[in-house]
Amino acid sequence: MSTTLSQTKIAFVGAGSMAEAIIRGLIETKVADPQNIYVMNRSDQDRLAFLRSEYGLHATSDPLTKETYLREADVVVLCMKPKDVENAFAELQPLLNEQQLLVSVIAGLSIAKTEALLQTNMPIVRTMPNTSSTIGLGATGMSFSAKVNATFKQVATQMFEAVGIVTIVEEEKLEILTGVSGSGPAYVYYFMEAMIKAGIEGGLSAEDAHQLTLQTVLGAAHMVQLTQENPAELRRKVTSPNGATQASIEALDRFQFSEAISQAVFRSAERAKEMGEQIAAPSPAVKSS
């Protein structure tokens, strides 16, 4: 397989928002050729027609055409929902080969379980992107199976750098990474909701509260990025003794703001692991009476 994605044939199994985010990034950054991108799903013809029209790629739900796409692909990207894994893998198993690279975007599904379900030793990359990938500002965690060589690592990294940053970690750290960046956008949205609500309750118009909150979050994130300073240090710089900001931080501390965020991160990580364990798990035995 080529070390550049421009010559690489990529098949996406699943045509949802994350598949589209990756595809859009690959095409808009001119990293991949649309004619080398193949997308498939079970039956949603409207979705496939949209992707075909929007990006100039190949898309199908026809079983024979899907088989051709999968056999010819250099990289196969698994983008189906966890609940669809068992049936989808049963169809995929005879069509894949160990010269291909398998990339999983399925939350919680371990490399070992992927190997077991597909009965394969092919190289596998497990990823955890977040929803900001849909606008090219994503954060993706990535882990490799032992079979992934340097060329495959380069290809996988290049794919996800087209939609944001990539952080390579040991697989056991992907759950906590899920808690930080996978679920992270939701924490920020929730925080913004609260700021907007308080602004409105204090007398601001809904539009003003929204715009002020949005710009505040954007500005703070850019400040951390541009200065490369620790957020704690930046917070200290804007917290004058006995000032309004200090009073607000003390209020957040009284309501255990930091502890709440920590608990959210750890619970997300825990739930991600639980979800992975539930994928294609045997049904509990029914006791006879």
Contact (Cβ atoms closer than 8 angstroms) between residue 13 and residue 20: no
Q: What is the pLDDT of residue 283?
A: 54
CATH (domain of 268) = 1.10.3730.10
Do 145 and 215 have their domain in common?
A: no
Strand 138-144 to strand 124-128: parallel, antiparallel, or no bridges (unpaired)? antiparallel
51 and 165 together in one domain: yes
End position of a domain, from candidates 174, 196, 212: 174
Residues 149, 115, single domain; the answer is yes
Do residues 30 and 4 lie in contact, with contact meaning Cβ atoms separated by under 8 Å? Answer: no
161 and 209 belong to one structural domain: no
Q: Are 170 and 198 found together in one domain?
A: no
CATH code for position 104? 3.40.50.720
Q: Give the tokens for residue 256.
A: 């255990």
Largest CA distance in the chain: 71
Taking only the tens place, the pLDDT of each residue in 124-150 is 999 999 999 989 999 999 999 999 999
> Are 84 and 114 found together in one domain?
yes
3: confidence class by pLDDT, cuts 50, 70, 90: low
Model pLDDT for residues 165-191, shown as the tens digit of each residue:
999 999 999 999 999 999 999 999 999
Same-domain status, 139 and 245: no
Cα 207 to Cα 199: distance, rounded to the nearest angstrom: 10
pTM of the model: 0.90
Please tell me the predicted confidence (pLDDT) of residue 286: 47
**Domain termination site, one of 146, 174, 202:** 174
Does residue 284 fall inside a structural domain? no
Residues 89 and 112 reside in one and the same domain: yes
Is 281 inside any structural domain?
Answer: no
How large is the angle between the packed helices 244-254 and 257-278, nearest 10 degrees? 50
| Dihedral in degrees, nearest 10, Cα atoms 115, 74, 136, 54 | -120
Neighbours of 279 (CB within 10 A): 20
What confidence tier does 284 reach under pLDDT thresholds 50, 70, 90?
Answer: low
The answer to whether residues 141 and 211 belong to one domain is no
Domain end position, chosen among 174, 194, 211? 174
Mean confidence (pLDDT) of the chain: 94
Least confident of 7-11, 106-110, 125-129: 106-110
Residue 164 domain-assigned? yes
Which residues constitute the domain of residue 268? 182-275
Residue 282 — pLDDT band, cuts 50, 70, 90?
A: low
**Count of domains observed in the chain:** 2
What average pLDDT does this structure show over 87-114? 94
Residues 83 and 167 in one domain: yes
| Chain centre to alpha carbon of residue 169 | 15
Alpha helices in the chain (DSSP H): 17-28, 45-55, 63-72, 85-92, 111-118, 150-161, 174-177, 184-201, 206-227, 231-237, 244-254, 257-278
Please check whether residues 128 and 208 belong to one and the same domain. no
